Amino acid sequence: MATLDVFHHNVPAESDFGYSQAIRSGELIHVSGQLSLDEAGTFVYAHDFTAQLKQTYANMDKVLDHYTVSRKQVISQTLYGVDLRRNAAATADGNLAYFGDHRPVSTVLGISELTFPGQVIEISCIFDTRLPA
């Protein structure tokens, strides 16, 4: 029987909504939508797309650190953004800064709202640990 390696940031939303931040199943790591939460699990940077994007990727890095994987092992990214047309340049800049020359597949969706008031971005990813770090 296979076992799952589950990761939590240990923030209240995980128990309030009943989810894990990430689950490793075999060679793949599936990461829930990361967002702009601080260490205490408080939503931060309401309505500030660039600051939320930076914090969201910082939270993604915590998941990478837990599983000792690198950004180069991301095979798929899904980004959900509010007012995406206005934030297209910030989305592109943040994505390029985070991934450098690595190019995972990416789906970017413009949506009307997210969970927290003032939340404008959320990102989920899939990692493949068989890829070179």
Q: Where are the domains of the chain?
A: 5-128
pTM for the predicted model, two decimal places: 0.91
Q: What angle do CA 8, 10, 11 make, to 5 degrees?
A: 120
Lowest mean pLDDT among 6-10, 36-40, 65-69, 94-98: 6-10
Average pLDDT over residues 98-103: 95
pLDDT at 99: 96
Q: List pLDDT tens digits, range 38-83.
A: 988 899 999 999 999 999 999 999 999 999 999 999 999 999 999 9
Of all residues in the chain, what percent carry a pLDDT higher than 70? 98
Six-digit token string for 31: 């990461």
| Architecture of the CATH domain 5-128 | 2-Layer Sandwich (3.30)
User: Bridge-partner residues for 48, per DSSP?
Assistant: none
